[in-house]
A = this chain, B = another copy of it.
Amino acid sequence: MSGAPVDFYFEFSSPYGYIAANLVDDLAGRIGREIRWRPFLLGPVFKATGSAPLVEIPMKGDYSRRDFGRSARFHGVQFQMPAKFPIGTVGAMRAFYWTDARDPALAKRLAKALYKAYFLEGKDISEPRTVIDTAASLGIDAAALEAGIADPAIKERAKSEVDGAMSRGVFGSPFFIVDGEPFWGCDRIPMLEAWVKRGGW
């Protein structure tokens, strides 16, 4: 891998973020760049942009509900629309950053497991217990993680990630930044790939 890593911003309650999470390992191989996983929260973004969760927006909501599964199948990704949607994912995000500070590769596995729990197995990852159980299934120390999620330092780390994402102009999920260039949405992966390979245009 050469060149700066690609920042991959995603929210754990985002179907398109989930689809992207299933595509970025292959993308990394094709472009020869590391992908840095960076969960954030859409709630503060919606406040800043005057927006709302997709499914709550007139017209766009109906389209999105139809599009989530269709897009997943288009990309060969298994998907089940969760009964409870959207959900709060601050606990999932804090668990990610707590793990990331100790073992980035494991944090990435945790992110994939949390996404799978929510968008395939119908588990409610807004529940701290579900997050901790999911982490424990990967060998993460449940008691240490439980204490970690409540640690003010991790809360601050997670908050600074959200603030940092917004200060970089991240307003949706997934959102990629590579060499300072922003790309929003699963649909933009082909453009991102071309951008890296050609060095921009």
Give residues in A with beta carbon < 8 Å to B: 45, 48-51, 57-60, 62-63, 66, 70-71, 73-74, 166, 169-171, 182, 184-185, 187-188, 190-191, 194, 201
Contacts and interface: CB of A to CB of B under 8 A. Distances in A.
B45 A171 contact: no
Contacts of A171: 58-60, 63
A49 B58 contact: yes
Contact of A191 (B62, B74, B194): B74
Contacts of A201: 70, 73-74
Given A45-B59, A59-B169, A63-B171, 4 more contacts: A48-B59, A50-B57, A63-B184, A66-B182
Contact of A63 (B182, B187, B194): B182
What is the total number of copies of this protein in its complex? 2
A166 B58 CA distance: 11
A72 to B, nearest CB: 10
